[in-house]
Amino acid sequence: MKNKKILSYSLVLVLLFVYFICMFFIPFYEGGVHLLRATLLQWQTFNAGMVALIAAVITAAVAIKSDKAAWERHYDAIERELKATRLLLNLPLRSIIEYINYCIDEILNYYVVIDKFDKEKKEKSKEIMIRNIEQMEKPKDHEKIFTDFIKLSSGREEKVESILTGILYEINIFMSHLHLMKRIEENRFIREKTRLKHTIAMGLIVKQMASDLLPYANTYVNNSRSVRETFTDKKIYKTLISTHIENKNINIDEDFPSDIETMAEGLFRDLHRG
């Protein structure tokens, strides 16, 4: 682009140089002032056009330079706002991770008792889980901050935009699943266990997406290439749920971590398909 600009300027200067040589220098050199005046009179229409052309070129050059300066100021303003918004990602990401961890722990507390207690105790455990989750402060302001970042970025940070879009999509579905838990029929035991595992898998995907973005949100430097998309590795979800189980020191099905891994793989595939 820079080379094309230099070539254009050089071509204009050469044409102007040739014009002044032919129109002024040669007539004056060969015949003095009389020949110069006669040449100018003979070519006055052409000269008038050249003056208009030169004026138009100068006007266009000034306008282009002015527009470029205005665009650079606009671009710099967007970059500064984008960096500021990037720093605002930190708090909602941490809030989402904390909320997901809490919800998963509450779901696990309920999951381990649903096949051990009678209907009354099971219902009581379910009410405790739902009440505790509802009392937990939900992530707030994340939708506006994430949306503002995506709008400001406009393709500059495609990887980050993609992850934020995925978080917005999945966390809304995750919260919908939490809301629907109270409606699961008691006689649909297998369906209930599957729904709980599916909700946990979805929560882990959201949690890992947010975790991948935290280092990026903690720096003022534009370094989106350093974002590690570890949430794309389905094996990580088996490790994550195993860690939750170990931290709570609970006994659970041996196949439970593998089930979460398989469900997470399906959810991740659906996310990219959507």
Please check whether residues 69 and 106 belong to one and the same domain.
no
C-alpha to C-alpha distances, 161 to 136, 165, 213, nearest whole angstrom = 28, 6, 10
| pLDDT at residue 67 greater than cutoff 80 | yes
Measured distance CA(110)–CA(106) in Å, rounded: 6
Same domain, 129 and 226: yes
Please report the pLDDT score of residue 192 as a whole number: 76
Answer yes or no: is 39 within a domain: yes
- Whether residues 40 and 148 share a domain: the answer is no
CA distance 139 to 95: 6
Residue-range definition of the domain harbouring residue 53: 2-76
Looking up tokens 């671009």 gives 75
Q: Does residue 119 sit in the same domain as residue 240?
A: yes
How far is the C-alpha of 259 from the C-alpha of 237, rounded, in Å?
A: 10
For residue 139, count other CB atoms closer than 10 A to its CB: 21
The burial of 26, by beta-carbon neighbours within 10 Å (0-12 exposed, 13-18 middle, 19 or more buried), is given as middle
Q: Which of 203, 196, 197 is nearest to 182 (CA)?
A: 196
* Structural domain contains residue 266: yes
Q: Which residue has the higher pLDDT, 247 or 215?
A: 215
Q: How many domains does the chain have?
A: 2
Specify whether 168 is located in the same domain as 195.
yes
pTM above 0.85, yes or no: no
Q: Note whether 96 and 180 are same-domain residues.
A: yes
Residue 82 lies in a domain: no
Clarify whether residues 118 and 252 are in a common domain. Answer: yes
Choose one of 76, 101, 124: the last residue of a domain. Answer: 76
- Looking at mean pLDDT, say which of 87-96, 150-159, 217-226 comes out highest: 87-96
